[in-house]
């Protein structure tokens, strides 16, 4: 969309500081995902490992810090924000994830294309404990942005083309991630069950 391009151009003036600001505000209220700036920056930094790591740290830390502001906003205005931004359907997804998988659900949501600000609002609305919220956010966002950094470093333009496709097909990606998360949880329960069976008397 043209307005997104205009906003991104305005943000790009300050380099990594712009990336921090975009990622920070996206986790609070604004709709533009930091990937739209982060991925081109990674492409320009290909071969410069310290810069790639720095960009990853910037986008991840900013996102998690912004989510804490979103948490505080959710405590006070969460319900009205959900209604104002038409995110009730995302709230239902997050409620299902957290009810079924607990902290794993928070991790899945942080890694998935579900708007991260909605996760912060919901955590604040539910007065979720901050420690697991922050840890799950660091792991989920760190893994998401880290995978982008590694893929672009290894595969260059091929990875960029694939990421562009994923950004254009967020719903399909979200479904895939949810299935992957559910499969991981089931596998873990199966593995834990094997341990319990081995300890039970014959």
What are the pLDDT digits (tens) for 88-143? Answer: 666 666 666 666 766 666 777 677 666 777 778 777 877 778 888 888 888 888 98
What's the confidence (pLDDT) of residue 198? 44
DSSP-based helix, strand, coil % in the chain, nearest 5 = 85, 0, 15
Contact between residue 68 and residue 81 where contact means Cβ atoms under 8 Å apart:
no
What's the confidence (pLDDT) of residue 195? 47
- Counting as low any pLDDT under 50, the low residues of the chain are 1, 195-199, 202
Length of the chain: 202
Domain residue limits, the chain: 2-199
The reply to whether the predicted model has a pTM over 0.85 is no
What's the confidence (pLDDT) of residue 98? 66
Task: Determine the Cα–Cα distance for residues 74 and 48; give it in Å rounded to an integer.
Answer: 39
What's the confidence (pLDDT) of residue 197? 45
85-90: long-range contacts (C-beta < 8 A, 24 or more apart)?
87/115, 87/118, 87/121, 90/114, 90/115, 90/118
What's the confidence (pLDDT) of residue 56? 92
What's the confidence (pLDDT) of residue 35? 85
């Amino acid at each position: 969309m043209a307005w997104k391009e205009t906003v991104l151009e305005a943000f790009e003036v300050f380099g990594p500081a712009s990336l921090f600001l975009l990622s920070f505000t996206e986790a609070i209220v604004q709709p533009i995902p930091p990937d739209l700036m982060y991925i081109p920056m990674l492409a320009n930094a290909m071969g410069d490992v310290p810069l790639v790591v720095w960009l990853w740290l910037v986008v991840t830390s900013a996102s998690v810090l912004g989510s804490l502001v979103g948490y505080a906003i959710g405590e006070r205005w969460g319900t009205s924000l959900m209604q104002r931004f038409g995110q009730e359907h995302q709230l239902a997804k997050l409620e299902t994830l957290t009810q079924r998988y607990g902290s794993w659900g928070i991790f899945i949501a942080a890694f998935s294309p579900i708007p991260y600000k909605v996760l912060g609002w919901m955590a604040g609305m539910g007065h979720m404990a901050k420690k697991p919220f922050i840890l799950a956010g660091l792991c989920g966002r760190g893994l998401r942005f880290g995978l982008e950094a590694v893929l672009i470093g290894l595969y260059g333009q091929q990875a960029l083309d694939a990421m562009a496709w994923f950004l254009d097909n967020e719903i399909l990606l979200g479904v895939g991630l949810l299935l992957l998360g559910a499969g991981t949880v089931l596998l873990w329960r199966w593995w834990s069950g094997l341990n319990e069976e081995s300890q039970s008397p014959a």
